[in-house]
Amino acid sequence: MIVKSLKSITILFLFVSTFFATAQEIIVDSVKTKTKPVVDYSKKQKIDGIIATVGDYVILDSDIDKAFLEIQSQGESTKNITRCQMLGKLMEDKLYAHQAIQDSIVVSDEEIKEKMSQQLDYMLEQLGDMDKVLKYFKKSNEDEFRADFFEILKQQRLSGEMQQKIIGDIEITPEETRNFFKKIPENELPVFGAELEMAQIVIKPKISESEKQRIISKLKEIKKEVQEGASFKTRAVIYTDDRASSATGGFYKINKKTPFVKEFKDVAYSLQEGEISEPFETMFGYHIIYLEKIKGQELELRHILMMPKVSPEALQEAKEKAITIKQRIESKEITFAEAARQFSDEKETRANGGTLINPKTQDTRFELTKMDPELYGQVSNLKDNEVSIPLLQDDAKEGKSFKLVMVTNRINQHTADYSKDYTKIRELALKEKQINAIAKWTEEKIKETYIRINADYKDCEFTNNWLKK
């Protein structure tokens, strides 16, 4: 039935890759190499507790235990997940990674090291120090931890690249969406939760010209130092205000489709290899970019972001402006939408009267149960057409500002309606099409891939035909 299919979609997307829910890789380090070593699988099973082999990868019995522990550590229940189901999921991951190697999908060691550095910094921030990290992941020393972590991240990246290759070009037409919806029996139509539509006005503090010039002069100074031999990477670690890339020395890999602001990509694509840009402004502050490599339409670059400091006087002035706008809306002097178009400093929403777009669905509706907790707290107690008090935002990327929020529409919980819920129905139809494509791909690759399963797990009822019956 369609509903069962939708449930299977949900389960599939909930089973995300976890940190130590992986097997040990037995191929040589370079992903470019296809030479397979000769392995005595029977002896390896006795020594290492191998329960399954998929191509160049093995799965240990302990990997299943680690997968359960990782899910539980995230506060999720595992009571409805069997060991057979978990093994099936781990085997899927190995099949993706194995086939990625066969298809010559390349993941560079440098790229994995950059990713590892970012994630390790986050772990240290959350857990405190390396000793606590090692204890949390049950590792005896840092070298063992880093080696395992590197291989895990490499396999995850290979698996992700392979999955993207399978479904990357899949699209869904209006006709396919309509047919998908028609197939669902009326008594099995999905129920969508209560939703809100909202609008906001953002007032940013004014930055003084002297502060802007201070930032620009500092960036020019850094550029000159690098041109004279200093390390751009080191300067980025020291000076950048971009928290997402500070640990990696401002490193990003981008292409034409990467969701960076237009001004940033325009400058990046205007540079030659080894060139450093002049300081330029985006909505986040002022940048300089150092272009390291050009690989077709893909760029490897480093950047330094410096955000101008906001004075207390400018912040207070922005708050008072927001209060005045709120008063004018409440006195019916101006509508919220008119005020947004006239006064809001947020380019993305200003033109459409401040209407917010849900980044997950790209429509205007926000389901209450899935809403960002901070946003929910700001709007949950607002009455219809009530304007919030000026709310102070301190965004890591955009700095401090004040915003006014209003709920423009409420949609109660309801059974799916094709015309009203087209975006959500289209997303479900697309997911079903993607899963069908993955299922077909998996069925074909299982037939041509070396697969071995320990006798203890041969009675499992797998979703995929791992036993090749």
pLDDT in tens, 83-116: 999 999 999 999 999 999 999 888 888 778 878 8
Averaged over 371-379, what is the pLDDT? 86
User: How does pLDDT run across 418-465, given as a tens digit for each residue?
Assistant: 998 998 899 999 999 999 999 999 999 999 999 999 988 989 999 899
What contacts 76, CB < 8 A, 6 or more positions away?
none
Closest by CA to 404, choosing from 310, 334, 324, is 324
More confident site: 405 or 41 = 405
Q: How high is the mean pLDDT of the chain?
A: 85
pLDDT of residue 359: 84
Task: Judge if pTM exceeds 0.85.
Answer: no
Compute φ and ψ for 282, nearest 5 degrees. Answer: -130, -175
Question: Does pLDDT of 9 surpass 70?
Answer: no
Nearest-Å Rg of the Cα atoms of the chain is: 26
Give 402's strand partners: 203, 392
Question: Does pLDDT of 375 surpass 50?
Answer: yes
In angstroms, the Cα distances linking 284 to 170, 248, 305 are 34, 19, 8
Contact 9, 2 (CB under 8 A): no
pLDDT of residue 138: 76
Question: Does pLDDT of 30 surpass 60?
Answer: no
Give 285's strand partners: 282
Question: Does pLDDT of 81 surpass 60?
Answer: yes
Counting runs of H as helices and runs of E as strands, what totals does the chain give? Answer: 17, 13
Averaged over 138-153, what is the pLDDT? 85
User: How does pLDDT run across 344-359, given as a tens digit for each residue?
Assistant: 999 889 999 999 998 8
Averaged over 367-382, what is the pLDDT? 86
Q: What percent of the chain has pLDDT over 90?
A: 54
